[in-house]
Amino acid sequence: GAGVSQSPRYKVTKRGQDVALRCDPISGHVSLYWYRQALGQGPEFLTYFNYEAQQDKSGLPNDRFSAERPEGSISTLTIQRTEQRDSAMYRCASSLLAGGRETQYFGPGTRLLVL
Amino acid sequence: GNSVTQMEGPVTLSEEAFLTINCTYTATGYPSLFWYVQYPGEGLQLLLKATKADDKGSNKGFEATYRKETTSFHLEKGSVQVSDSAVYFCAFLGGNTPLVFGKGTRLSVIA
């Protein structure tokens, strides 16, 4: 596609429910990244993939958070048993090549509100 | 640890005023440096970048120079427009680190 897309754009859920956030990277991009952005803060790294392999998940806050990219394209970030503190903007980015200095292109984000 | 410190906002300027948003970083090695911008209701967009010392990134009238000696990457524009109103994020990317962002600086330009 022309850019990174994310769905849904907005998600309201009740505490305790599971949510799945989807990211569709730019076609052909090798690397895919997930970030979380609290209000008034910059994005913070969660995890990233090269192709289908998860390379680093050190930013995932706890084991309720998981991510996958089974075919090396679309990725899903899943939050189980959501809590109010999970409310944030979740951002996905992709880069053409793997490697630590490649420019990352961001999608519009998914705003999650846990009631 | 790795971090980015940028000027706190909000910054309010009149149209055609000069803009500086300060950004300094703490990182090991020689990271690549970025400015991202978020316009109201939109996602993060890459504004400009620089990959080595003394490089100048520029786009849409904005400039920033990679200053290794002061570990800084200040964003400047000579004459801002109302359409420049947005939140600006400084960030760096090292060889073994994910993108590290500052907290963002909100700019409001009034006519």
pLDDT of residue B56: 97
CB contact under 8 Å between B103 and A40, yes or no, is: yes
Q: What is the pLDDT of residue A58?
A: 92
Indicate the range of A73-82, A98-107, B77-86 predicted with least confidence. Answer: A98-107
Which chain A residues are within 8 Å of B103, Cβ to Cβ? 40-42
pLDDT per residue as tens digits for the range A30-83: 999 999 999 889 999 999 999 999 999 999 999 999 999 999 999 999 999 999
Highest mean pLDDT among A107-111, B30-34, B97-101: A107-111
What number of C-beta contacts closer than 8 Å exist between A and B? 56
Contact flag A106-B43 (C-beta cutoff 8 Å): yes
Q: What single letter denotes the amino acid at residue B52?
A: K
What pLDDT is stored for residue B42 in this prediction? 86
Name residue, tokens 């803060």. Answer: A41
Interface test with B, best of A7, A41, A48 (most B CBs within 10 A): A41
Per DSSP, the residues of A8-77 read -SEEEE-TT--EEEEEEPPTT--EEEEEEE-TTS--EEEEEEETTEEEE-TT--STTEEEE-TTSS-EEE
Instruction: Answer whether B43 sits within 8 Å of A109, measured CB to CB.
Output: yes
Distance (Å) from the alpha carbon of A67 to chain B's nearest alpha carbon: 16
State the sign of the Cα–Cα–Cα–Cα dihedral B50, B54, B56, B62.
Answer: positive
Q: Is residue B49 less than 8 Å (CB to CB) from chain A? A: yes
Residue B81's pLDDT is what?
97
Please tell me which of the candidates A45, A101, A103 has its beta carbon nearest to residue B46: A103
Share the mean pLDDT of chain A. Answer: 94
Taking residues B71-75, report their average pLDDT. Answer: 96
Does the beta-carbon distance from B95 to A100 stay under 8 Å? yes
Contact flag A43-B102 (C-beta cutoff 8 Å): no
